[in-house]
Amino acid sequence: MKGGYSLTQIGLHWLVALLVPVQYLTGSSIERTHHAVHMGMTPSYWDVVMHHLHNYAGMAIGLLMGTRLVLRILQPPQAGSPGSWTDRAATALHHAFYAAIIGQACLGFLASYFWFGIAPYHVVGSRIILAMVALHLAAACWHTLVARDETVDRMVLPRRKRSANNP
């Protein structure tokens, strides 16, 4: 099996994977709370709760992805065949994920606490990330169901330490 990721990297990946859907499920509460306030009404309690959940989960995702990026730099995954177009595409998608998700967290923070005028770019970013997630899931399905290789195992099973007997 190709070298995988550390247990920490795997845990961070799946924690972000669990938090990202929260963002899509709670995002519409922001428009409702802002609309209610602008209309001079009190937003519903549940919308306010979801709005806060969206904000804090977004900040957590940004910090988790920043941590993942540092770990990826310090403990890079062992690549497969270095020149293949699929490895280059996978690397490009992963780099784009780091940029898009960290950028999205920054845009959300700016929109929430400094300048709401940037919010439309945050919405566009969410759609870009959604398309990237769909591509990522399609690639995982392809590796599992068509190629039947061990690529997905790398993000499920932690890499083993190499010993003198097991190079």
Q: Give CA 7 to chain center in angstroms.
A: 17
Average pLDDT value over all residues in the chain: 86
In tens, the pLDDT along 62-91 reads 999 999 999 988 887 665 556 777 778 888
* CA dihedral of 126, 129, 134, 135, whole degrees rounded to 10: 150
Say what the pLDDT of residue 4 is: 72
pLDDT class for 96, splitting at 50, 70, 90? very high
How many whole angstroms separate alpha carbon 159 and alpha carbon 8?
11
Task: Walk me through the domains of the chain, giving residue ranges and CATH numbers.
Answer: 7-78+86-155 (1.20.950.20)
Say what the pLDDT of residue 78 is: 66
pTM: 0.82
Say what the pLDDT of residue 111 is: 92
In tens, the pLDDT along 139-150 reads 888 888 887 887
Say what the pLDDT of residue 53 is: 96
CB atoms near residue 61 (< 10 Å): 21
pLDDT class for 154, splitting at 50, 70, 90? confident
Spatial CB neighbours of 21, under 8 Å, sequence gap ≥ 6: none
Average of pLDDT values for 44-68? 95
Average of pLDDT values for 144-162? 75
62, HSE (Cβ side, Cα atoms, 13 Å)? 15
Say what the pLDDT of residue 166 is: 47
Asked whether residue 1 carries a pLDDT value surpassing 50, the answer given is no
In tens, the pLDDT along 98-138 reads 999 999 999 999 999 999 899 999 999 999 999 999 999 99
